[in-house]
C-alpha cells in the first residue's frame, strides 16, 4: 500500500531563540553541538544571546562560519573535518538554504566518513547521523524540512543534488523574528521560491491528493501574506505566516518534488549566477503554459488562488493565459520582483542550455515529455 504522506521532522514555532535551543538540547541530552551558520549571523543579537546562554549552561560548542552561497564541496568537507575533530553530538544549522544544506552535508561526512562527492555518486552510503536542528533565517528554501541538499562541484560549477530521508532534520525551529532584518529583495526571492515549490509539486507526476491540499494552502498563504512581509518587514504575523508556508513547502519537496522550472533554475543559476528564487519565478509562467494541456484543472486552481476570474468555458490554453497573467501581476506588481532584463543576459543565450535542462535530475517529474525543442521554447519565454 502506497503511503501518501510522511513527516518525521519535529516542527517548533517559537519567538525566543536562546530559550528554545537550551530547552531543546536539555530535552535531547545533547551538550556538544557543532554550529553551522553564515558569518554575519555571529553579530546578530539573538544569535549572540544564544551562544552566551550555551556557555552559561555549561554546553561546549564549536562554530563553523565558513558558509558561502551555493556551497562548494570543499566548504562542506572542511566543516566535516572540524566537526569530527570536535567530536560533536549534534549539529545546529542557522541561516538560509546554503547554511542548512551545508550542515546536512557536514553531518553526513563527519558521521559516515569520506567526502561529500562520494555521496553525490552513491546516496546509499548515508547511515547514522547526529541530531540535526535546523533554524532558517529566510522563508523560502524549505531546507529545514526537505530531504535534499545541493552541493556545487568546483571544477564543473554544476549543482549536484543529494536526496535521502536519512539526512532530514530532527527538528525545524521556526523563529519569525530572525527574518525581520531580511532585505526586501531576499524576502521576495525566498517567498517566490516557496511558491514555486508548492506550484511545481502540485503539477508533478509525484503529487498526491494529500500533498495537493497542502500545496494549495501554501500558495494561498503566500498570495495573502508575502506582500505584507515584503512591504512591512517588521510585521511578525506576516513573517510567521510566510515562514510557516515556506516550511510546509519544504515538506512538499519531499512528497512531490519539483519539475522543470527548478531544473532551469539549477542549470542557469550555476552558469549565470541568477538568484535561485528569482530564477524559478522567471521560469514558472512558461512552465504553466507547458503543463496546462495535461493538468488544466490544476493550472486553473492556481489561477483561482491568485484571484483570477474564469467563466468555465476556457480551453486549456486560455486557462494558462489567464493564470499566467494573474501570476505575473502577483510576482511583478504586488510583490515587486525586478525584471529579468536587469541581469543583462539574452534569452538566445539561455536556449543554449536546453539539452542540459532536459537531463537535469528533477526534470523527469514534469507531466509533459521534455525535449530540446519544448525546453528551448521555455527558455525563449523565460522572464
Enter the C-alpha cell of residue 92. Answer: 545546529
- Quote the radius of gyration of the chain (alpha carbons, Å): 20
In a domain, 281, yes or no: yes
Enter the C-alpha cell of residue 355. Answer: 539539452
Residue found by looking up cell 538540547 in the block: 25
Cα–Cα distance, 136 to 156 (Å, whole number): 29
In a domain, 102, yes or no: yes
**Of the residues 179, 214, 232, which one is the last residue of a structural domain?**
179
In a domain, 223, yes or no: yes
Shared-domain flag, residues 172 and 203: no
The arithmetic mean of pLDDT across residues 28-44, rounded, is 95
Shared-domain flag, residues 152 and 44: yes
pLDDT in tens, 311-340: 999 999 999 999 999 999 999 999 999 999
Residues 6+ apart with CB under 8 A from 211: 4, 5, 201, 202, 252, 255, 256
Question: pLDDT category, 48, cuts 50, 70, 90?
Answer: very high
Give me the pLDDT at residue 77, please. Answer: 96
Enter the C-alpha cell of residue 30. Answer: 545533547
pLDDT in tens, 147-176: 989 898 888 878 888 989 999 999 999 999
Shared-domain flag, residues 83 and 230: no
In a domain, 4, yes or no: no
> Does pLDDT of 211 surpass 90?
yes
Cα–Cα distance, 41 to 65 (Å, whole number): 9
On whether the CB atoms of residues 208 and 250 are closer than 8 A, the answer is no
Shared-domain flag, residues 117 and 251: no
In sequence order, what are the beta bridge partners of 93? 36, 134
**Of the residues 126, 146, 179, which one is the last residue of a structural domain?**
179
Q: Which of 337, 18, 9, 10 is nearest to 177 (CA)?
A: 18
pLDDT in tens, 347-361: 999 999 999 999 998
Shared-domain flag, residues 216 and 300: yes
Shared-domain flag, residues 232 and 251: yes
Query: 89 phi and psi, to 5 degrees?
Result: -105, 0
DSSP secondary structure string for all residues of 136-153: ESSSS--TTT-SEEEEE-
Q: E strands along the chain, which residues?
A: 10-13, 33-37, 62-64, 90-95, 131-136, 148-152, 159-163, 171-174
Give me the pLDDT at residue 270, please. Answer: 86
On whether the CB atoms of residues 68 and 39 are closer than 8 A, the answer is no
Enter the C-alpha cell of residue 26. Answer: 536539555
> Does pLDDT of 346 surpass 80?
yes
Shared-domain flag, residues 191 and 148: no
Q: What is the DSSP letter of 122?
A: -
Question: pLDDT category, 7, cuts 50, 70, 90?
Answer: confident
Q: Which CATH number covers residue 62?
A: 3.40.50.1970
In a domain, 5, yes or no: no
Shared-domain flag, residues 221 and 349: yes
pLDDT in tens, 217-274: 999 999 999 999 999 999 999 999 999 999 999 999 999 999 999 999 999 998 999 9
> Does pLDDT of 1 surpass 70?
no
Give me the pLDDT at residue 20, please. Answer: 97
For residue 34, the number of C-alpha atoms closer than 13 Å in the C-beta half-sphere is: 29
Task: Tell me what percent of the residues of the chain surpass a pLDDT of 70.
Answer: 99
**Of the residues 109, 144, 179, which one is the last residue of a structural domain?**
179
DSSP secondary structure string for all residues of 319-330: HHHHHHHHHHII
Q: How many domains is the chain built from?
A: 2
> Does pLDDT of 383 surpass 90?
yes
Burial class (CB in 10 A: 0-12, 13-18, 19+), 334: middle
Give me the pLDDT at residue 184, please. Answer: 96
On whether the CB atoms of residues 130 and 107 are closer than 8 A, the answer is yes
- Write out the residue range of the structural domain in which residue 74 sits: 10-179
In a domain, 96, yes or no: yes
Question: pLDDT category, 52, cuts 50, 70, 90?
Answer: very high
Alpha carbon of 296 to those of 195, 198, 289, 290, 303: distances in Å? 19, 17, 10, 10, 10
In a domain, 277, yes or no: yes
Shared-domain flag, residues 214 and 166: no
Enter the C-alpha cell of residue 319. Answer: 486557462
Shared-domain flag, residues 24 and 150: yes
Q: Which CATH number covers residue 204?
A: 1.20.1090.10
pLDDT in tens, 197-209: 999 999 999 999 9
The pTM of this model reads 0.93
Question: pLDDT category, 296, cuts 50, 70, 90?
Answer: very high
Give me the pLDDT at residue 152, please. Answer: 86
In a domain, 1, yes or no: no
Query: How many residues are present in the chain?
Result: 383
Shared-domain flag, residues 171 and 257: no
Enter the C-alpha cell of residue 42. Answer: 555571529
DSSP secondary structure string for all residues of 65-105: ----SS-BHHHHHHHHHHHHHHT-SEEEEEESHHHHHHHHH
Shared-domain flag, residues 41 and 174: yes
Spell out a b/e string for 256-268, using b for 16 or more CB atoms within 10 Å of the CB, else e. Answer: bbbbbbbbbbbbb
Amino acid at each position: 500500500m502506497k503511503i501518501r504522506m510522511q513527516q518525521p521532522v519535529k516542527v517548533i514555532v517559537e519567538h525566543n531563540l536562546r530559550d528554545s535551543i537550551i530547552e531543546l538540547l536539555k530535552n535531547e541530552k545533547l551538550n556538544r553541538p557543532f554550529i553551522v551558520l553564515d558569518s554575519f549571523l555571529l553579530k546578530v543579537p539573538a544569535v549572540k544571546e544564544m551562544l552566551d546562554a550555551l556557555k552559561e549552561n555549561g554546553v561546549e560548542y564549536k562554530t563553523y562560519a565558513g558558509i558561502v552561497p551555493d556551497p562548494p564541496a570543499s566548504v562542506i568537507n572542511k566543516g566535516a573535518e572540524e566537526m569530527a575533530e570536535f567530536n560533536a553530538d549534534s549539529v545546529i544549522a542557522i541561516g538560509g538554504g546554503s547554511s542548512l544544506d551545508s550542515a546536512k552535508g557536514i553531518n553526513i561526512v563527519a558521521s559516515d566518513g569520506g567526502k561529500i562527492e562520494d555521496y553525490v555518486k552513491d546516496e546509499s552510503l548515508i547511515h547514522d547521523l547526529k541530531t540535526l536542528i535546523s533554524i532558517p533565517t529566510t522563508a523560502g528554501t524549505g531546507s529545514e524540512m526537505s530531504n535534499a541538499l545541493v552541493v556545487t562541484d568546483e571544477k564543473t560549477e554544476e549543482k549536484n543534488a543529494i536526496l535521502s530521508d536519512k539526512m532530514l532534520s530532527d527538528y525545524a525551529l521556526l523563529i519569525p523574528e530572525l527574518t525581520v532584518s531580511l532585505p526586501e529583495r531576499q524576502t521576495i526571492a525566498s517567498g517566490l521560491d516557496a511558491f514555486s515549490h508548492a506550484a511545481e509539486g502540485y503539477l508533478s507526476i509525484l503529487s498526491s491528493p494529500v500533498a495537493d491540499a497542502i500545496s494549495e494552502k501554501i500558495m494561498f498563504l503566500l498570495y495573502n501574506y508575502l506582500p505584507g512581509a515584503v512591504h512591512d518587514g517588521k510585521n511578525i504575523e506576516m513573517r510567521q505566516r510566510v515562514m510557516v508556508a515556506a516550511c510546509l513547502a519544504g515538506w512538499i519537496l519531499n512528497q512531490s518534488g519539483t519539475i522543470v522550472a527548478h531544473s532551469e533554475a539549477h542549470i542557469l543559476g550555476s552558469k549565470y549566477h541568477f538568484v535561485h528564487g528569482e530564477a524559478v519565478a522567471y521560469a514558472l509562467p512558461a512552465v504553466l503554459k507547458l503543463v496546462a494541456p495535461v493538468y488544466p484543472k490544476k493550472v486553473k486552481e492556481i489561477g483561482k488562488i491568485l484571484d483570477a476570474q474564469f467563466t468555465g468555458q476556457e480551453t486549456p490554453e486560455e486557462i494558462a493565459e489567464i493564470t499566467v497573467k494573474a501570476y505575473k501581476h502577483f510576482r511583478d506588481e504586488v510583490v515587486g520582483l525586478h525584471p529579468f532584463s536587469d541581469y543583462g543576459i539574452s534569452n538566445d543565450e539561455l536556449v543554449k542550455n536546453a539539452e542540459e535542462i532536459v537531463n537535469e535530475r528533477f526534470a523527469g517529474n514534469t507531466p509533459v515529455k521534455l525535449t530540446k525543442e519544448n525546453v528551448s521554447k521555455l527558455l525563449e519565454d523565460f522572464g
